[in-house]
A and B are shown apart, each in its own frame.
Chain A
Amino acid sequence: MSLQKSSTIKLPHFKSFLLLLFISTSAVKVQAETILPGLSVLSETDIRESAIAFVNMSTSPGLEGATLTVDNKERHSEQIRGSFGFSAEVTLKDHIFNGYWGLAVVGGSLDDELKLISDSGEQVNLDVSRNVLGLRGSLGLSFPVDQHFKLRPYLSLAVTDLKTETVIDGLTYTDPSGNTTTTPSFRTSAQLASAIGSLDALYSRWYGDNKLELTAQYNLIYTDAFSEDNPVLSTYDLNHTVQLRSRYTGPTALVSAGRPWRWQAYANYVNFISHDKASLGYQSLVDFGGGLEWEMNIKPLDWFGWQMLGIRAGLIYGDNVEGYKFGLTAR
């Protein structure tokens, strides 16, 4: 049985109407349709991709709480994601396979600052703030191949609320009522429903008192978005991600309430395969760290086992991104 990790969720404020982020180096991407007059570098496609990428990179199964920073000449962004939830296997008597379920509150925030070049050749600063909060439920089966290896296919449904505020500094903009400004700002919101098909391959083996755990996870994510105030965000998209996780744990001399503490070291890799790197500034992440876990071993509602409660910290690296994680873990 396992419990997914918990973490902090930052809840800034949000306004906006469009958004998007996109710029690959300083080159102008060929656009399909321009959203803002004078800023053809920003297309509807960019806005859609960046919004869905942010939601997927915040709410997909298997992701853990993290704070990420992208910092380069054209872009500075801070992203926080987190979740608080539980997942567990349920024994189905007289069957070899077990049931699997999970429920989580997921969320994240993003402050993204981009430097773009307007059609007139002037530099424009695009400041986008996003905030997402959602609920994810999972249901599936777990097939033990042998004592050490199991396969776990499951389906997750997630509903999320996305709010965005965008401020464009340096772009002369005339709104529909005829007012002209050089710092137009927009607020927008969208509701997203995601269906996520996941396949986990889990391997574990003990070496004396130490335990090695390896997990490979593939997610296929279909996202449908609805927005009343931004038609651009009424769209859908299909994406997929891969995660590889490893953990090594061992005993310590610490005991609390008669139950032992264990140390742990971990290293993970995640690749948001189908997302454009420009959407959030990165596509893959590696993180590693360590911590302590207390073997509390309780059984809430006499229904599912909650084995471990712990604390851990780690560092995150990726293409143009770095960050850290620190928080409680439970499984």
Chain B
Amino acid sequence: MNERIIFYICCCIFLSACVQAPVFKEEGYALIRSNYPIVSLNGAEIEPAYDMDLEAGENTLVIVYNSYQYDYFCTFTWAAVSGAAYEVTDHEKSYPLTLYRWVRKNSLWAIRLDPLDPLQCTQKPR
């Protein structure tokens, strides 16, 4: 019986730790996570990164979706809100990548809201 209770407690602790609240750099910053490499920030090339802090306000990112035939350089421009988290993923929409506002709903799941298509995706042969 005690073992079962301990097992349930461990499961609860594990599950409750699954969805963490985002940690922001400081006031006036947003956060972005991407499943694909971010290669440009506001017109400047950067070392490929999968997550970064963004200053609130309008930002322009270029994120690369790789396939075996082409690389798709997708440009997102949007007004990032201070204290908001964003996420870019492949959802097989009309463009290869989609940007969402990521909201922690509870410890078990998060929600992806306000889908945003890139302004454009430039296709380049590999």
Is B94 interfacial (CB-CB < 8 Å)? yes
Once A144-B68, A147-B67 are accepted as A-B contacts, the answer to whether A301 and B19 lie under 8 Å apart by CB is yes
- Contacting B at CB under 8 A, from A282-331, are 297-303, 305, 307
A147:B19 contact, CB within 8 angstroms: no
Residue from the list A94, A144, A302 in contact with B109, Cβ < 8 A = A302
What are the residues of chain B within 8 A of A147 when measuring CB–CB? 65, 67, 70, 72, 96, 123
What are the residues of chain B within 8 A of A300 when measuring CB–CB? 108-109
CB-CB contacts of A14-45 with B at 8 A, as 1s and 0s? 00000000000000000000000000000000
A297:B96 contact, CB within 8 angstroms: no
Is A143 interfacial (CB-CB < 8 Å)? yes
A96:B67 contact, CB within 8 angstroms: yes
Is A204 interfacial (CB-CB < 8 Å)? yes
A143:B68 contact, CB within 8 angstroms: yes
Interface size on A, residues (CB 8 A): 23
Q: In the complex, A211→B68 CA distance in Å?
A: 23
- Contacting A at CB under 8 A, from B36-50, are 36-37, 50
Interface centre among A143, A144, A211, by most chain B C-beta atoms within 10 angstroms, is A144
What are the residues of chain A within 8 A of B93 when measuring CB–CB? 206
A145:B68 contact, CB within 8 angstroms: yes
What are the residues of chain A within 8 A of B35 when measuring CB–CB? 91, 93
Is B91 interfacial (CB-CB < 8 Å)? yes
Q: In the complex, A91→B87 CA distance in Å?
A: 13
Is A258 interfacial (CB-CB < 8 Å)? yes
Is B59 interfacial (CB-CB < 8 Å)? no
Closest to A302 in B: B19
CB-CB contacts of B97-119 with A at 8 A, as 1s and 0s? 00010101100111111010000
B110:A146 contact, CB within 8 angstroms: no
What are the residues of chain A within 8 A of B50 when measuring CB–CB? 93
A binding-site residues for B, Cβ under 8 Å = 1, 91, 93-94, 96, 143-147, 204, 206, 211, 258, 297-303, 305, 307
A and B contact pairs by CB, cutoff 8 A, 5 listed: A93-B37, A96-B67, A258-B113, A297-B115, A299-B19
B binding-site residues for A, Cβ under 8 Å = 15, 18-20, 35-37, 50, 65-70, 72, 89-94, 96, 100, 102, 104-105, 108-113, 115, 123
Given contacts A147-B67, A299-B111, A301-B15, 20 further A-B contacts (CB under 8 A): A91-B35, A91-B36, A91-B90, A93-B37, A96-B68, A144-B67, A144-B68, A147-B65, A147-B96, A211-B92, A211-B94, A258-B113, A297-B111, A297-B113, A298-B109, A299-B112, A302-B18, A302-B104, A303-B18, A305-B91
